Amino acid sequence: MADAIADEAARLRWLADRVPVPTIRLSVATPDRAWLLTDAAPGLTGDEWLARDIDALPAIIRGAAKLLQGWHALPVEDCPFDAGHRLRLAQARRNVDEGAVDTDDFDQDHQGWSAAAMLAHTEAIAPLQSERVVTHGDFSLGNILFDEAGQVAACIDVGGAGVADPYQDIAIPWRNLSDFGVEWPAMLLLELGIAAHDERRLQFHRCLDEMF
């Protein structure tokens, strides 16, 4: 837990003035403990807005896509954090070995799978190539805050941010939006300017996320 808090603090410092994130007020770390205090982030998460008003979905998608384009446009050479899929696969293996994977939380099409089976499948479809951009790492609708006009107010939970394949950030909202119908993930890709997506990379990152 201390490491996770320290990771969050380090990334919040680097991201300040680059993308909308909460401002740190206090951060303290020792070898085995850490504390982090930030300003309260304004707005409601995408999930909370949709629970109130499903008609907000198009505005949520447009706002999320614009935010993601801003993340992915950050200069890779300036980012000190590596979040590539090889590192995440190594952590996934540790999670499986330690029994830390919640198989009950797997997506519907993976229900009944063991953690070991998910790991083996994910390793088998690992992408042969990838791009390098600055990624959020857990770009779910629950980690993006919107104001009443549908504009992005802040993004939170940035402890996994770093240089990685952009599909790391595309796969998670794509999966979120699939719950509302196939047209909404398609709208996300369109808003991101992706005319033909890479299905293998999309599925790999979706499966990889199952183990976190």
Q: Which whole number is the average pLDDT over 174-188?
A: 96
196: pLDDT confidence band, cut at 50, 70 and 90? Answer: very high
Checking if the pLDDT of 47 tops 90, the result is yes
Catalytic-residue membership of 138: yes
pLDDT of residue 31: 80
Residue 52 is which amino acid? R
| Tokens coding 108 | 């519907």
Q: Which whole number is the average pLDDT over 32-58?
A: 93
The Cα–Cα gap between 166 and 170 comes to 7
pLDDT of residue 129: 81
Q: Judge if pTM exceeds 0.75.
A: yes
The Cα–Cα gap between 135 and 76 comes to 10
Q: What one-character DSSP code corresponds to residue 82?
A: B
Query: Looking at 47, 104, 138, 165, which residue is catalytic?
Result: 138
Q: Are 187 and 61 contacting, i.e. CB atoms less than 8 angstroms apart?
A: yes
Q: Are 161 and 150 contacting, i.e. CB atoms less than 8 angstroms apart?
A: no
Q: Which whole number is the average pLDDT over 97-108?
A: 96
pLDDT of residue 111: 96
How many alpha carbons fall within 13 Å on the CB side of residue 127? 22
Checking if the pLDDT of 176 tops 80, the result is yes
